[in-house]
Amino acid sequence: MSLKVNKTKLLLALLLLAITVPSRVINNDRAFNIDEPWWIISSANFYYAVTHRDFANTYFEYHPGVTNMWIFSTAMHFYFPEYRGFGQGFFDQRKPHFEEFLRENGKETLDLVRYSRYIQAVVLSIMAVIAFLLLSLLIGEITAFLSIALAIISPFFLGHSRLMNMETMLAMFVLTSFLGMYVYLHKERKIIYLIVSGISFGLAQLTKSSSVVLIGVIGLMLLLQLIQKDENPLRSKLTSATKTFGIWLASAALIYVILWPGMWVAPGKMLSEVYGNAFSYALQGGRLDVTEELEPANFSLDNRSDGVLLYLKYWFSGTTFVTWLGVIFAGFLFFSKHKEENLKIAKPLIVCLLILGSLFILMFGLAQGRNHAHYIMNSFVAFDIIAGIGWGFVLMLAQNKWQIFNRTYASIIFIVALVLTQIGFGLPYAPYYFTYKNPFAERAATLGYGEGYNLAVEYLSAKPNAEEMQVYVYNGMGTFSYMFRGETLVFKRVYLVDESYEQIVEETKSSDYLVLYPVIRNQQPETEKLFTAFENATPEKTIEINGIEYIYIYNVSEIPESVYAALLE
């Protein structure tokens, strides 16, 4: 076996691109999530540091998000190469000065993000094709196509892949690394598969340190190879496993060092910042600048099942019937008596994918301070791959029972119908997609992530002299300001946490319009007093999405004084 691309593989790879690329590039500037402004500014600082050879200052967050920052930096280099020559230095990620700087120089952050998303779409497409080619060596071309397609066009994955939040890139790097190692161990021991796996893991680590979970799965795969009964002596197998792991880890380390300039000059600092902060946050609930040091005595994981159950609910809410049925069909595969080679490989592959997805749920379910659904994107992808294998098994059974399914057109109809059904579940939630909620779930897995602000921008931009307007917007940095040509005054969440109601009242009165985001009311208890006070005011415009009230737009001149009095009391 090899990665040699035959006609069928080529056609399926092109079809994979045809059904995924358009959805990632068309109207990809309709929503900005609340995390993107941080990474946009960090990336601009990264670009400035690299172009000024200030490599020690290329660390900004423990994720570490280096792949994300390279994408933004590439977009910046082509869109605004002069940026590096103004001597402005680094911008604070929590303030809108970067956005103001770009506008002063005739540039828009909106354009920078749009071009960055185009580049990310290319990266995701490349990784999807590589994953398809690797998976096709294990379970056949049709089933591999189904598996990858169902994963990358699922509403939850698709929605996040249209944003620059790293989760989908991380999931594809992890998947490719896993598949490369699996092909190497179970199909053909060609060094290229091992190196592809190692490089992909290095890219995953450069994206988010949480991908360290993969080491456990790789270790388990190597351990199973050691205890497998065959004619090779244990010592020989141990040597082989050690060599395999060494090459894999060396490949990952090499790409990690090559792509992160900070590792060239201060590797100790970079590694301690990334992993020290990651473990501190997971085990102590805060970064090292808060906890000051790692204290083993203070380490704790949630000793209840609440966190794990929360993430299982997220997965349940964010997946479609196509995935559910596919996973069930994959379970039936274990009771099959068919002797096909692909089925023999598929069974342990499903088990490993199940372990991989479950480990991410366990890690974030038990760790402190992490409760967002997109953290388990790897689980969504792993389980979608399992679902694809399940549907491939159904097609095989149909081909064995009914001759008509052995005809090319019948297989094509089956594939197209399944893919279109998966796409169809997400279409009512366009252009966001990640707000998809299956009919049995109470709420969407991701809600209040910045979606809907584009509709507020459209409404206010249609007003006369909108460019001269000042709008006070809750969490409006980037989510609103990138799209609005007038002045955006940011209503920060921390004002509510700190109970800075005098400032809120003052800044509201100084603005023309106030934009609130009621969709997050139940998620953020500190907003309760605010929304209770504004029950005495009637919004000029209420924006609903899928039957949910997302946005309240108030004309400040029409807000009664009783609202301000309620906030200040």
214's tokens: 């993969």
The C-alpha angle with vertex 281 and arms to 277 and 282, in degrees rounded to 5, equals 120
What is the C-alpha separation between 145 and 148, in angstroms, rounded? 5
Strand order in the sheet with 548-555: 487-491, 470-474, 513-516, 548-555, 541-545
- Choosing from 429, 461, 495, the residue where a domain stops is 429
Among the ranges given (20-34, 244-258, 347-361, 527-541), the one the predictor scored with the smallest mean pLDDT: 20-34
Structural domain harbouring 509: 453-568
In this structure, the number of other CB atoms found within 10 A of the CB of residue 93 comes to 17
Among the ranges given (53-62, 252-261, 494-503), the one the predictor scored with the smallest mean pLDDT: 53-62
**pLDDT for 5 beyond 80:** no
Domain membership of residue 274 (yes or no) is yes
Domain membership of residue 200 (yes or no) is yes
pTM of the model: 0.94
Looking at the structure of the chain, the number of domains it has is 2
pLDDT the model gives residue 287: 55
| Residue 3 confidence class, pLDDT cut points 50, 70, 90 | low
pLDDT the model gives residue 286: 56
Where b means 16+ CB within 10 Å and e means fewer, 361-384 reads bbbbbbbbebeebbbbbbbbbbbb
Among the ranges given (191-200, 250-259, 440-449), the one the predictor scored with the smallest mean pLDDT: 440-449
Closest CA to 351 of 336, 334, 375: 334
**pLDDT for 304 beyond 80:** no
Q: Furthest-apart CA pair in the chain: how many Å? A: 85
pLDDT the model gives residue 165: 85
What is the C-alpha separation between 551 and 20, in angstroms, rounded? 30
pLDDT the model gives residue 282: 65
DSSP string over 42-97: HHHHHHHHHHTT-GGG---SSSB-HHHHHHHHHHHHHH-GGGGGS---PPPTTSTH
**pLDDT for 369 beyond 80:** no
Averaged pLDDT, 521-539 = 96
**pLDDT for 206 beyond 60:** yes
**pLDDT for 305 beyond 80:** no
Among the ranges given (169-183, 338-352, 397-411), the one the predictor scored with the smallest mean pLDDT: 397-411
- pLDDT averaged over the chain? 92
**pLDDT for 310 beyond 60:** yes
**pLDDT for 316 beyond 60:** yes
Averaged pLDDT, 173-188 = 97
Closest CA to 174 of 359, 387, 411, 340: 359
Mark whether 233 and 193 lie in a shared domain. Answer: yes
Mark whether 461 and 395 lie in a shared domain. Answer: no
CA of residue 133 relative to chain centroid, distance: 22
Mark whether 286 and 363 lie in a shared domain. Answer: yes
Helix, strand or coil for residue 265? Answer: helix
**pLDDT for 400 beyond 90:** no
Mark whether 409 and 471 lie in a shared domain. Answer: no
What is the C-alpha separation between 75 and 164, in angstroms, rounded? 13
| Residue 1 confidence class, pLDDT cut points 50, 70, 90 | very low
Mark whether 283 and 317 lie in a shared domain. Answer: yes
**pLDDT for 229 beyond 90:** no
Instruction: State which H helix or E strand residue 23 sits in.
Output: helix 7-25
Domain membership of residue 53 (yes or no) is no
**pLDDT for 303 beyond 80:** no
DSSP string over 316-345: HHH--HHHHHHHHHHHHHTT-----HHHHH
Share of the chain above pLDDT 90, in %: 82
Mark whether 234 and 293 lie in a shared domain. Answer: yes
Tally the residues of the chain: 569
Mark whether 379 and 461 lie in a shared domain. Answer: no
| Residue 339 confidence class, pLDDT cut points 50, 70, 90 | confident
pLDDT the model gives residue 290: 46
